[in-house]
Structure 1
Amino acid sequence: MESIINIKGNVVYPITLDPGVWIFDDRKVDLKTYFQKENVETDELAEYTKSVSKHWEREIMEGAVFPPTLKTEKIYEKQKVLTGTFGIPLKPFLTNAHINDDAKSVTFVTKDEHFTISIEDAYHVILGFSIDGKPLREDGPVHIYFGDGSNVNSPIKHLKEIIVS
């Protein structure tokens, strides 16, 4: 399959990535706004706890019935998913692959070239997987954006695999 990307090499667990399912992933980011603001790493558990707490407070105060504003929010979120431009951070996938301690770099293999960056820089890479609600079939399956946004207007395309070395 052309839409599958492997993370392999100097890792404990080689991983297969399928960008087709990332649209449902809560870790996705809006690429139209992501590089325009300062990205502060957040504690995912703390954010989740705040979100759940807010939901429970709302449910206690208003009951389990969804008020019209909540229904409108759901419609808006659904529309955003269908028309949005999204990416996902590479860091959680590299973390799940358990990079070995002696690894020093990450190589991205594309259709035409290979390029290598440090593991620290790879942790900040964003993999773009959707433009205007459509998957990247022509030049994908993903586009590679550096964490500093330096290539936001000319991302690296045609990614085939990721090799940790």
Structure 2
Amino acid sequence: MESEEIVIIQLMGNVTYPITLDPTVWIFDDRKITFDQAFQPYTQQKEPESDELKKASERFNKEIYQHKIKPPVNKSIARFEREKILVSTYVMPIIDFLQTAEIKNNAQQARLVTQNGEEIITLTELRNCLLLFAEDGKPLSDFGPVHLYFGDGSNKEKPIKGINKIVIE
């Protein structure tokens, strides 16, 4: 089975709510982080985003005061975001999905079922993981739909690839 056929990930096992994750829609999710920012210290991650928002806000205000009508700036911002999305590489923190699934108190580990076998990690490791889902603005073509990176970047050179199930045990 080719990796392109698998586009969803099942999060199941010792959880209250088994869920299905669809990484193809994460490109529109505000929780995504660019890969370059993912392993930087927290303070460095937030500064560029706030600068970008401040600049966008200033452009918006300038357009409003110049035209005093519905400004076309929304289209400009959308175009900028669209262009950024088409060239960026993104990861998604897994923690929100784990909270939604509600891991049961007696759970001890996570089994990652991949195209090439299985890997066991601790729940602590899993909670801090990031899932690479888009490379250069496109869904992963090699061993997708996601690559798993530990939050500390310790497997940055060799992520866990081809995950199609995360089984909480």
Q: If the length of structure 1 is used for normalisation, what is the TM-score?
A: 0.79
Indicate yes or no: 2:147 matched with 1:143.
yes
Aligned to 1:133: 137
Residues 142-151 or 104-113, more deviating: 104-113
Paired letter, 1:104: Q
Q: How many residues align?
A: 151
Paired letter, 2:36: K
User: SS of the counterpart of 2:91?
Assistant: strand
Contact 2:9-2:164 at 8 Å conserved across structures? yes
Aligned to 1:78: 82
> C-alpha displacement at 1:67, in angstroms?
7.0
Aligned to 2:100: 96
User: SS of the counterpart of 2:161?
Assistant: coil
Distance 1:159 1:82 in 2: 24
User: SS of the counterpart of 1:116?
Assistant: strand
Task: Select the residue among 25, 34, 48 that pairs with 1:21.
Answer: 25
Unmatched runs of 5 consecutive residues or more in structure 1: 41-46
Indicate yes or no: 2:63 matched with 1:34.
no
Aligned to 2:47: none
> C-alpha displacement at 1:123, in angstroms?
0.9
Distance 1:152 1:142 in 2: 14
User: SS of the counterpart of 1:101?
Assistant: coil
RMSD over aligned Cα atoms? 2.7
Distance 2:126 2:160 in 1: 14
User: SS of the counterpart of 2:132?
Assistant: strand
Q: If the length of structure 2 is used for normalisation, what is the TM-score?
A: 0.78
Distance 1:86 1:23 in 2: 8
Unmatched runs of 5 consecutive residues or more in structure 2: 44-49
> Percent same amino acid among aligned pairs?
39
